[in-house]
Amino acid sequence: MTEWLAADHPDAQSRAAEVIRAGGLVILPTDTVYGVGCDLWQGDAVAALYAAKQRPPEKAIPILISDLAAMSQVAAEVPQPARRLAEAFWPGALTIAIPKRTDIPAIVSAYSTIGLRIPDHEAARAILRACGGALAVTSANRSGGPNSLTAEEATAALPAVDLVMDGGTCPGGLPSTVVEFSGEGIQILRVGPISEAAIRTLLQTHP
């Protein structure tokens, strides 16, 4: 049976950490849409996340982090342009894909990069801090389905989760913009709340 807690409940952070450590799946609010997350270091938990979402295995799972310092947990390096974007737009609706550490489980990302984001949502960041600073989190919906803006929508889409953190309606409603840094410069993989023009203007202004 799925457990429900308000995201601002006094036990929310500790309970989320317990479920994550046990390899469970947790639905949580963010500034964009509801997400579903797990311990990125437990391959079985990540496999359960893929299965719950019916997500194709070639689609990597992004990582939500609590603060800039947590980047070192998963990133092999942080290119200076990526750091400038992070400092300008985080917390916020920008996912930055940068080279990943070699010990990141392949099931999280089969590629050389990993997508990172700090959500602009205090309850989400508090949960992330309680869980060590970084979680594998993707949108709480069936792959290809509509995004979930409420805990009820998320649970209807993903009934086989262990814990739901109810934070009300997500304020953003759109998935984050995704930009990737590779050897060939930057590539906008998905346009979201932060425009490509804003990203490129900042990088041109602060090369």
Q: For residue 51, give the amino acid letter.
A: A
pLDDT tens for residues 99-139? 999 999 999 999 999 999 999 999 999 999 999 999 999 99
| C-beta of residue 115 within 8 angstroms of C-beta of residue 100 | no
Q: What is the pLDDT of residue 9?
A: 95
pLDDT digits (tens, 9 = 90+) for 57-78: 999 999 999 999 999 999 999 9
Return the HEC string of 32-69. CCCEEEECCCCHHHHHHHHHHHCCCCCCCCCEEECCHH
- Compute the average pLDDT of residues 44-66: 97
CATH number for the 3-205 domain, one of 3.90.870.10, 1.10.150.120, 3.40.50.10190, 1.10.3860.10? 3.90.870.10
| pLDDT value, residue 59 | 94
Q: Residues of the chain with pLDDT > 90: what percent?
A: 94
Nearest to 161 by CA among 10, 20, 59: 20
Domain spans of the chain, in order of start: 3-205
